Homo-oligomer: A and B are copies of this chain.
Amino acid sequence: MNFIAKLNKAVERNDTLVCLGLDSALSKLPAHLKDDPTPIFSFNKAIIDATHDLVCAYKPNTAFYESLGASGIEQLKQTCDYLTATYPEVPIILDAKRGDIGNTNDGYIDFAFDYLQADAITLHPYLGQESLAPFLAKADKGIVILCRTSNPGAGEFQDLKIDGKTLYQTVATHVANDWNANDNCLIVVGATYPDELAEIRTIVGPKMPILVPGIGAQGGDIKAVMKAGIGGDKRGLIINSSRAIIFASNETDFAERAREETLKLQTQINDYRKVIPI
């Protein structure tokens, strides 16, 4: 099944636009897990078991796993294997922000899609479509291109004007018009930039899902995101929260508290989905 179809099914089944970011930094895990031989996997497993019916995707960010080297990569694989075996209906977006020249990308494709069995991967646009062709050719996978990132200094290059259009608008235009022959492209727009999100929704049309990080710890506003970014059929947004959910408690009740926070976010978002146009 095509990634976007799988995503939309998960959105419908669980009635949710919440994506849960598994940014499971070892230093932030509850103290009682510190002696666990695979603390990150054990943490993720508990979080996943507590939230799988409330989310439309999980998004592990590779940086938090790579920081531990081979052991972290092993725990990332355990996490993805557990998801694939236990909750195969929930897609995995590998937040890897990769992007190399053509052939070299094959290594990242092996990593994301064969080794981890992820359903989608995030990529930098800087090298262009030709370099990312091996990813774009994966018709059943989601190819998620960074467009307008959530960080305060995102505008340094992304806001620069080219023939009256900003670089991020230009990236969105290329992705929507030229890169998307397999209907497998998505883009990333930070929740911290709702005006830009609205422009980008207009550029990419109502169908392309937009991955929106920056809710929660980074301060993005849910109403503004929903108003600016919602797509057709009351979906088209993958609203990610990480730290605010997974680290809601650092006691033994961490998974329970993660469920409560996920439910709260799901409800807040769904309240806006009921009153579209917002």
What bracket does the count of chain A residues touching chain B fall in?
Answer: 35 or more
B170 in contact with A61 (CB, 8 Å) = no
- Tell me the complex Cα distance, A124–B70, Å: 23
Q: Which residue of B lies closest to A101 (CB)?
A: B151
* Chain A 89-123 interface mask (CB, 8 Å, partner B; 1/0): 00000000111111011111011000110000000
The residue that A167 contacts in the complex, of B23, B62, B160, with Cβ under 8 A, is B160
Residues of chain B lying within 8 A (CB to CB) of residue A13: none
Residues of chain B lying within 8 A (CB to CB) of residue A126: 124-126, 146, 149, 157-158
Residues of chain B lying within 8 A (CB to CB) of residue A155: 128
B64 in contact with A107 (CB, 8 Å) = yes
Within A15-70, which residues are at the interface with B (CB < 8 Å)?
23, 25, 61-70
B157 in contact with A67 (CB, 8 Å) = no
Q: Which residue of B lies closest to A178 (CB)?
A: B156
B149 in contact with A101 (CB, 8 Å) = yes
Sorted nearest first, the 4 A-B pairs with minimum C-beta distance are A130-B153, A63-B107, A128-B156, A67-B110
List 27 interface pairs A-B (beta carbons < 8 Å), by A numbering. A61-B100, A62-B107, A63-B98, A63-B100, A63-B104, A66-B73, A67-B111, A67-B115, A69-B74, A69-B111, A73-B73, A97-B100, A101-B151, A125-B126, A126-B126, A128-B157, A130-B153, A131-B149, A131-B151, A131-B153, A156-B174, A157-B170, A160-B162, A160-B167, A161-B163, A162-B162, A162-B167
